[in-house]
Amino acid sequence: MGSRETRCVVGIDIAKQTHVVCALEAPGGAIRLKPSKIEASLEGYARVQEWLQSWAEPAATVIGMEATGTLWEPLYDFLTQAGYHVLLLNPRQTASWASSLGLRAKTDGIDAHTLARGLLAGLARPSTLPSETVQSLRALTRARRDLVQTRAAARQRLHDELVVLFPEFVPLLRQLPGEADLGAPAALHLLEAYPSAAVLAPAPTDAVLLVAQQASNGRWGEAEVALLQQAARRSAASSRAVAARSLVVRTFVGQVLHLHTQIAELEAAIQEVLRDDADSRRLQGIPGIGPQGAATIRAELGDVMRFSRVDAVVAYAGLDPRTCQSGAFVGQKHLSKRGHMI
């Protein structure tokens, strides 16, 4: 580290179940603790603290750990609350240290030792920790994104089954009043009760009408039910494995409806965070940026004031173009896709 006050540098490789700790004396670099495993538990963290207390005061100790997903958070909080200076390091940065040292093998122990050597050499550039607001938006928006993708996949799977069970259903939805598509609750609730043409065609009209009215909040009536049942009776549906495929339709209908509810809950939570965040309100003042866009920008960029130029924002997002060139060869430019890691 090059600081007279620093007496010990500690590298910690982070994993799910265990972490590996390696400590070097500063400035000489003698090994204080060879790479040693601890459990990712309160008992394991207490063991690390015992080691640290036996080596040097918190002010004379520098600790570095990789920003591996969110796995670093519990140990980071434990150590910083105990008064230690902990640097959160980008894995791409630490990978370059290993390359510069000529290391070919990769183990948790080697990684922990490499972290400590990088700290000792003063190579560390700590990552910026997200604020509580940014961390909350990051968790919520990423969860929402994953659920939206899952819902899209479930709807596609549902559509694929209907192509066999009731191929006329999806095109027919465009003729019905309201927001009639395969993702609309009205269509889903109707399919929940009548998942195939074979089931809908012989069903009592009064029963179908009751389901349709309840599902559509009164937008679908006798005319719409007549149109649906007429299409079912003339359907080109397959007659194979109807019962099994109907169960599959009901299963995916239930999944899509459940995902609707979960996504709505996340969006409500996002709105709560945005309400108290001045930066998000300013973003929503830009034409074309709504609540979800503002939440995503805040979640992924954090405090934009830490970027001095637009180019830095583009690079941070991994959208900067890279060129491969050697001698007379000039390759095509492509996106680096090397954005932030936390």
Q: Which one is predicted more confidently, 322 or 205?
A: 205
Residue 319 has pLDDT above 90, yes or no: no
Supply the mean pLDDT for the chain.
Answer: 88
Cα end-to-end span (Å), the chain: 24
Q: What is the DSSP string of 56-95?
A: --GGGEEEEEE--TTTTHHHHHHHHHTT-EEEEE-HHHHH
Q: Which one is predicted more confidently, 242 or 125?
A: 242
Residue 75 has pLDDT above 80, yes or no: yes
Question: Beta strand pairing status for 85-89 and 18-25?
Answer: unpaired
Residue 3 has pLDDT above 50, yes or no: no
pTM, 2 dp: 0.79
Cα 289 from Cα 284, distance rounded (Å): 5
